């Protein structure tokens, strides 16, 4: 998998600014009219105390 930059330190897959998940799922959040990254949501997120 390509290096996916991630800044969510609270995620179990976070390792020094890189996502270590085998695959990721990203969806739109809100009204599905995405115009910026703020309108997206990482469905792969797992709190680092639950991995």
Report if residue 47 sits inside a domain.
no
Q: Average pLDDT, stretch 22-49?
A: 89
- Domain residues for the domain of 25 are 4-42
pLDDT tens digits, 16-30: 999 999 999 999 987
pLDDT score, position 31:
73
First to last CA, the chain: 20
In a domain? residue 50: no
pLDDT of residue 2: 76
Instruction: Say if 27 falls within a structural domain.
Output: yes
Long-range interactions of 24-27: CB distance < 8 A, separation 24+: none
Please tell me the pTM assigned to this model.
Answer: 0.79
24 inside domain: yes
The H or E element that residue 7 is part of is none
Q: How many domains does the chain fold into?
A: 1
pLDDT above 90: residue 7: yes
Strand, helix or coil for residue 18: strand
């Amino acid at each position: 998998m390509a290096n996916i930059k991630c800044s969510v330190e609270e995620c179990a897959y976070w390792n020094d600014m890189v996502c270590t998940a085998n695959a990721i799922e990203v969806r739109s959040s809100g009204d599905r009219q995405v115009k910026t990254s703020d309108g997206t949501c990482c469905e792969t997120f797992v709190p680092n105390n639950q991995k």
